[in-house]
Structure 1
Amino acid sequence: MTTPTQAELEILNILWGMGELRVQEVHKQLNEVRPIGYTTTLKMMQVMAQKGLLARQLDGRSHIYSPVIQESTTKNKLLSRFVDSTFGGSRSQLLMQLLGNAKVSDEELKEIKDFLAQIEE
């Protein structure tokens, strides 16, 4: 699997969340976050299709794009690579760093405890 760039991940996150879309629709979503040219969005999506990250179907005079790669698989691979390179593969160091640097809400803390209890079973 080709590892998506940060810009490609922005597009993938839109498509994972919203499903099949035309370039115009993806472009509109990207512009809500930061200004980007339409032709830049179009070219990025064309390149992503060539890389095998997106599928493209002709619909009248435009194309509809959809993600080829699975969200969970992609995020797991990216996270594993990050943990290996930054924390020497230690998931506990990652968790301690993450929880030590930010205020965790009571709800988040409960979710973490529930998840850890589930893993221990």
Structure 2
Amino acid sequence: MTHKPTESELDILRVLWEKGPSTVRVVNEILSQEKETGYTTTLKLMQIMAQKGIVTRDESSRTHVYNPAIEQKNVQHTLLNKLVDAAFSGSASQLVMQALGQGKTSKAELEEIKKLIEQLEGEQK
């Protein structure tokens, strides 16, 4: 991924990743539930995102349908690497300790983390 999405672009991508192919109206309605967002603002952002290759636009019907052109996992990977490098001097363990130290991790999430650690340890043997 050569382009790092802006915060507003990430908001739109999150909607598209969750809902699948959507019109500007659908995306705008969902975004407006969190913060007031004008339809024309969402439209312009999505048009720019299409020009950048972040989303694709199906123009076969009257209402254009947008689809993410980049995978959520790839974006998360890129952004996480930048965060680890910039804020934690490249230390993934410091990032994890900081995140878990916030006290917002559920019991189920901790179980998933334990399983991942066990899996990673098994791969290193």
Shorter-chain-normalised TM-score: which range?
over 0.9
Q: Do structure 1's residue 78 and structure 2's residue 67 form an aligned pair?
A: no
Task: Give the match for residue 42 of structure 1.
Answer: 43
Change (3 A) 1:58 1:104: closer
- Following the alignment from structure 2 to structure 1, what is the Cα–Cα distance between the partners of residues 81 and 94? 13
Summarize the alignment of residues 6-85 of structure 1 with structure 2, pairs less than 5 Å apart.
6-85=7-86
CA distance, structure 2, for counterparts of residue 60 and residue 100 of structure 1: 49
Task: Report the counterpart of residue 108 of structure 1 in structure 2.
Answer: 109
1:101 CA drift (Å): 2.1
Partner secondary structure for residue 21 of structure 1: coil
Q: CA RMSD in A?
A: 1.1
Amino acid at match of 1:42: L
The CA deviation at 1:74 is 0.8
1:103 Cα offset (Å):
4.2
Task: List runs of 5+ in structure 2 lacking aligned partners.
Answer: none
**CA 1:80 to 1:62, structure 2 compared with 1: closer, same or farther past 3 Å?**
same
Q: Which runs of 4 or more aligned residues in structure 1 lie more than 6 Å from their structure 2 counterparts after TM superposition?
A: none
Q: Distance in 2 between matches of 1:105 and 1:116?
A: 17
Query: Which string of whole-angstrom CA distances, capped at 9 and with x for unpartnered residues, describes residues 57-104 of structure 1?
Result: 113322110010111011100011011000011001011111112243
Question: Which TM-score applies when normalising by structure 2?
Answer: 0.92
What percentage of residue pairs aligned between the two structures are identical?
Answer: 45
Residues 5-14 or 97-106, more deviating: 97-106
Using structure 1 for the length normalisation, give the TM-score: 0.95
Q: Deviations over 1:7-65 (max 9, x none)?
A: 10000010011111111111111111111100000000000001110101113322110
Greater alpha carbon shift after TM alignment, 99-108 vs 7-16: 99-108
**SS of match in other structure, 2:64:** strand
Say if 1:3 and 1:103 are closer, same or farther in 2 by CA, change over 3 A. Answer: closer
Distance in 1 between residues matched to 2:15 and 2:108, nearest whole Å: 26
Number of aligned residue pairs:
121
Greater fraction strand = 1
